[in-house]
Chain A
């Protein structure tokens, strides 16, 4: 047992030591945050931001399919909040739908959070008030995914006779923005926030058939699956995990100086960087230990 080399000992280190190291390098920057420059990705984040910036004010509609679950919340929730903030700043109407039941609570929370932020600022004389039915409508949940995706291309009132709160969608006195929205032709873009391949489903069923622009907000683990659709122009930009969300938060803060809402993704970016650095060092160290041990064994015969 005592014959073990330092390399061998390091390769057999208890996994809990690794967890502890990762926890420390993650927690320290959270408690003592420091700013690191966040480079904006041109072909993903900036492309999407610029596309939304080009929407005409007042009459544009951004349709968000908010299909995030509690387990994806740290990555996807900041994206949803950022998109809603951006649309409200630009006076773009927002329609939100969920294709999974567990997404409802998070989608409603994001809408309430951002509208409260705007209304609090408006009460101090900064910016404008956000009114449900005029600036946004929460459609609620409708399964199974392909059926509402196709149905919305024909007639939104058939798919959602009522909104999430039970208001008749055709009751234009309560939901005046719905007067000019009948199907995808009246919307400018679909934004699909999901931890699975739902953005591709929107490309296949909504874009291919009805020609509407589609963008995605996806978890980092699934980003690689969407690059081909980005290169082919089927996706108009994309947000890639927590980093993409932090980039978008930065762009909004830069463009709209009055925006003072909490930047959830940016808060985690310094921890993200230190943890990545630690993991890279551990991967390098693991490889060094492996090769040194092999060299030691070959010398010993």
Chain B
């Protein structure tokens, strides 16, 4: 019986010739990412260990991205704990350089790796053929101390993509459609694998947007095959694969879906669940107070280019705040060089430093009671972007930007 990509990566990390879904294995981690959401608590637990030690500091990457620059004395104190520890132990450390997953994908992630990240959206690394999964800080600490951990080998749900996305429809519309189709726990404990002819037209940025959001269906990880697009991205960033895996023809899948990309339309996820999706055109009666273009899901140069193409020569609607937040410093610089930031500025947008911003709801741009946000962020849970009685809609870069112009939820073809 053959293996899935998820099984092959775990087998490699467990140094076994074969593993099966449902098995529990001890695995060696290739990389361990942590951010300021929980690192101060990891350090506190580390300092309480009887025998504190780090198996391999060279595998650790610590990134301050959630509340940067800090918003309060308490945040500053927690980030200082993290910063000092990273410096003392020689851990790769970034602050203000971008959202953790974007930095990891630009600088670290290699196909075939098994990576723990103390952040649920670590599943984004499947875009490069790596098994990334989110863990809490105790799991993180254990792996940091020992170099290994245990994993339950997940079953895999496979999505066979065919055709091509229509003009103006994005990979984000596709993954929101899929989450709506299988539900918020439709892939709980499972891996989501994406294959098929439809993959060839999806850029790495598209693939990241797809994999990144799979945790919103409960997935443990998301995975894609390594192809010419992946190899070109890696080459451009000076890296090579560790191992390139495809699922075997006789691998066993928990479920398989065929999706024709040409049938996808602009989608919006309504409050307060990511699987609460409808065609964006059904939401044009929703007035907005704020629009957000950014995050690990949709803050790459491709997303900013799309937004800029929508807003060029137009202006943000009166009374609306439009936040544009590049996902990393390199995205920021490129947007600057391409004149994209100028386009947004001329349109009246507020351009912020690379960070998680309002997607995480505790930093810049949080919304007040009763306010409505349309966002390219990852979640629309109750209170996610600020006040507990506020409302978050999720849409693509094109939909968010068009909405910023109109002042209500709109698709780009309505401009």
Verify that A and B bind, or say they do not.
Answer: no
Q: Chain A interface (Cβ within 8 Å of chain B)?
A: none
